[in-house]
Amino acid sequence: MTLMQKFLGAAATVALTAGAVAAEPALIFDLGGKFDKSFNEAAFTGASRWAEETGGKFFEIELQSEAQREQALRRFAEAGANPVITTGFAFATPVEAVAGDYPDTKFVNIDGWLPEVPGNVQLVGFQEHEGSYLVGMMAAMASKSGTVGFIGGMDIPLIRHFGCGYAQGAKAVNPDITVITNMTGTTPAAWNDPVKGSELTKAQISQGADVVYAAAGGTGVGVLQTAADENILSIGVDSNQNHLHSGKVLTSMLKRVDVAVYNAMKAGEGLETGGFTILGLADEGVGVAMDEHNAALITDDMKAAVEEARAKIISGDLKVEAYYTNDSCPVHKF
């Protein structure tokens, strides 16, 4: 029996003996683990906030392989967990497959897409290109070489969506800037390969990059570490990663996965399902991190430019093109 089976078996026992007590939510982390200092950790932060505020408890599991996705969903649903929250686009199809068998269970998938959303499923997405546009502007304003980098995790449209927004922001500041792009891989292992992240960072530095943005989950830890070691600036993602290398991380593009998880757990069995929830700048679903760790790196001009762009994006006066529109980026080739 695997550790996961033991855990889920225990979870089922606890939930099923709870009788009429309100169902406890469950959180299934994507590959890379809950302490990836990025996407999954943001989800854990949101769940922890809910638990601290309410005194409630939630079930959780870290997957070890792709094959465990559907198994984990079914085990938690059978245990009576509600809602069952999943992180990562790869969960969308397993959630679709499982949802119909558990009509009384509500499922949440963060980052996934389905052509038709089952009635007991909520999909949560973000306008990552909007936040990435802002950090792209900051990268271009901070760069002395005129070359900036982007390192993605798994090469999928979602990560190109990040990169496209970043390139648009950088080129809005400096139309002649060079944007170097590398993806870590084509399988889920690309989310948790800090060594490869380090290698790609060194390669981009050799090409002149002096600011590198990582949108790569746990792989990004290697990017930020190497950038600090090589005395260039980095940009974190999802969680606020400024503190990981204080004074060396220009900013972090915040993707408020924590808010999405917190809201889902707070809603509980009353969660609205059957559609999409999209969070952007206007909803504070994405943004840039400003704190004591990057204060010395942020100029007044940079702050003013970011605030002006943010206001224009929210008002509709500035349109950031989404990679998804035509599976292409108007200012950058991947």
In tens, the pLDDT along 260-293 reads 999 999 999 899 999 999 999 998 899 999 999 9
The share of the chain scoring above pLDDT 70, in percent, equals 93
Its pTM stands at: 0.86
| Residue 27 one-letter amino acid | L
Report the helix count and the strand count for the chain, using DSSP H and E: 10, 12
Question: E strands, 245-331, where?
Answer: 249-255, 275-279, 286-288
Supply the pLDDT for residue 14: 36
Residue whose C-alpha is closest to residue 166's, from 142, 136, 127, 211? 136
pLDDT digits 0-9 by tens, 156-214: 999 999 999 999 999 999 999 999 999 999 998 999 999 999 999 999 999 999 999 99
Sign of the dihedral through C-alpha 219, 225, 229, 230: positive
Supply the pLDDT for residue 259: 92
Supply the pLDDT for residue 37: 84
What is the spatial distance between Cα 24 and Cα 84, in angstroms, rounded to a whole number?
9
Take residue 277 and report the two structure tokens written for it.
């929830």
Listing DSSP states for 36-96 in one string gives SSSHHHHHHHHHHHHHHHH----EEEE-SSTTHHHHHHHHHHHHT-SSEEEESGGGHHHHH
Q: Are 85 and 277 in contact (CB under 8 A)?
A: no
What is the spatial distance between Cα 196 and Cα 132, in angstroms, rounded to a whole number?
22
Which residues, 6+ apart, have CB-to-CB distance to 310 below 8 Å?
Answer: 134, 281, 287
Q: Are 42 and 111 in contact (CB under 8 A)?
A: no
Supply the pLDDT for residue 209: 98
DSSP state, residue 211 = E
Regions of the chain with pLDDT less than 70? 1-22
